[in-house]
A and B are shown apart, each in its own frame.
Chain A
Amino acid sequence: MSDTRDLFRSLRDADGGRAPSFAATLASGRARAAAPGRPGTFPAAAAVLAGLVLAFVLVPRVKQDGSLRAAIASAREMSAWSAPTAVFLDPIERTLQDSTPTLALSSVPLPE
C-alpha cells in the first residue's frame, strides 16, 4: 500500500508544483469578489427573464385580441338574457310590499 501512497504523493506534488502563485490566486479571488457579479451572468439572466415575462404577458393578449369584440358582445348578450320562468323567481315579499295599502288618514273613513 506504500506504493499507492507514493503514487498519490507524486500526483499531489505534481499538482502542487503546477499551482498558480498564492498571491495571484488571492488577487484574482478578491477581484472576482469585488466585481458586482459574475461578468455577463446577471445581464443575461435579466434579459432572459424579461423576455419570458414579455412572452407570457403579450402572447396571450395578441392571441385574444382578434376575438375581444366578439367576447364583449357575447358577454353583453348573456347578461341581457333572461329565462322565461324568471318571473316565478320574483320574491314574494316584493309582491306583498307592492300590494300593501297606504295608511294615510284621508283614506280611512273615520266615525263622525
Chain B
Amino acid sequence: MTTMEATIDRAAPSDLGAEVEALHPDAFAWAMTCCGRDRTLAEEVLQMSYVKVLSGEARFAGRSALKTFLYGVIRRTAASERRRVRLVAGRIARFARLSVRPTPVEEPPDVAALAAALARLSGRQREVLHLVFAEDFTVEGAAAVLGIGVGSARVHYDRGKKRLKAFLGGTR
C-alpha cells in the first residue's frame, strides 16, 4: 500500500484533504501546464492552492466537481504567481542585465516532442488541450476550469489542435 492510499484509508470518506490527495499527481501535472513547465513554480503554486482549498480560503461549495474546482484554483494561483514572478524577475533582470528563464525540465523521450510543441502554443491553448486530451474534460468543462466562455474555449481548442498537429507533424 502506498503512502497516498494509506492516508486515504485513514481519512473519512468526506474528508476534503483525502479527496484532494487522490487528485495530487494529476493536479501536479496540471500545475506544470499552468506554470509553463517550470517545476519549481508548479510546486509553489500547488502548495498555495492546497492551503487555499483546505483552509477554506477558496471554498468548495459543491456546485462543480472537486476536480474542476481544484483545477480552477490552481490555474488562478498560477496566473497570479506567474505575473508576480515575471514582475520581480523582470526587474532583477533589467537591473543585472540578465535573461531570466526557468530551469528546463528533463522530459522523457516519448513525450519530449509533445512538450516542445506545447511550449510553442499560447497558454490558453495549452491549458484547453491538456484538460481535454489528458484529463478527459469536455470543452465545456475546460471552459469552467479556465473561467472563460464555452465559445472562447472552443476557439482555443480548435486553433491549438491545428497548431499542435502542424508542430508535431513537423517534428516527425
For B164, the closest partner residue in chain A by CB is: A4
Give CA–CA (A19, B168) in the complex, Å.
26
Q: Among A6-14, A53-61, A76-84, A91-99, which stretch is in contact with chain B? A: A6-14
Interface bits B19-48 vs A (CB < 8 Å: 1, else 0):
011001110110010000001000110111
Q: Which residues of B contact A (CB under 8 A)?
A: 3-4, 7, 17, 20-21, 24-26, 28-29, 32, 39, 43-44, 46-51, 54-55, 107-108, 110-111, 114-115, 129-130, 133-135, 164-165, 168
User: Residues of B contacting A26 with CB < 8 Å?
Assistant: 17, 47, 50-51, 54
Contact in complex: A8, B26 (CB < 8 Å) = no
The tally of CB-CB contacts under 8 A between chains A and B is 88
Give CA–CA (A85, B24) in the complex, Å.
90
- How far is the CB of A25 from the nearest CB of chain B, in Å? 5
Contact in complex: B48, A29 (CB < 8 Å) = yes
For B165, the closest partner residue in chain A by CB is: A4
- How far is the CB of A39 from the nearest CB of chain B, in Å? 13
Contact in complex: B43, A25 (CB < 8 Å) = yes
Q: Which of A14-41 contact B (CB under 8 A)?
A: 14-23, 25-26, 28-30, 32-33
Is A5 among interface residues, defined by CB-CB distance under 8 A?
A: yes
User: Residues of A contacting B115 with CB < 8 Å?
Assistant: 11
User: Residues of A contacting B114 with CB < 8 Å?
Assistant: 7-8, 10-11
Interface bits A64-79 vs B (CB < 8 Å: 1, else 0):
0000000000000000
Give CA–CA (A30, B111) in the complex, Å.
33
User: Residues of B contacting A21 with CB < 8 Å?
Assistant: 3
For B4, the closest partner residue in chain A by CB is: A22
Give CA–CA (A4, B129) in the complex, Å.
10
User: Residues of A contacting B111 with CB < 8 Å?
Assistant: 7, 10-11, 14
For B113, the closest partner residue in chain A by CB is: A7
Contact in complex: B26, A16 (CB < 8 Å) = yes
User: Residues of A contacting B3 with CB < 8 Å?
Assistant: 21, 23
Give CA–CA (A37, B117) in the complex, Å.
37
Q: If A4-B164, A32-B51, A33-B51 touch, does A22 touch B21 (CB 8 Å cutoff)?
A: yes
User: Residues of A contacting B130 with CB < 8 Å?
Assistant: 8, 12
Contact in complex: A25, B46 (CB < 8 Å) = yes
Centre residue among B20, B28, B49, B165 by max chain A CB count within 10 A: B28
Give CA–CA (A68, B60) in the complex, Å.
64
For B115, the closest partner residue in chain A by CB is: A11
Give CA–CA (A12, B24) in the complex, Å.
12
CB pairs A–B below 8 angstroms (29 shown): A4-B165, A5-B134, A7-B133, A8-B114, A8-B133, A9-B134, A10-B110, A10-B111, A10-B114, A11-B134, A12-B26, A12-B29, A12-B134, A13-B29, A14-B107, A14-B108, A15-B25, A15-B28, A17-B25, A19-B24, A22-B7, A25-B24, A25-B50, A26-B50, A32-B44, A32-B48, A32-B51, A33-B48, A33-B51
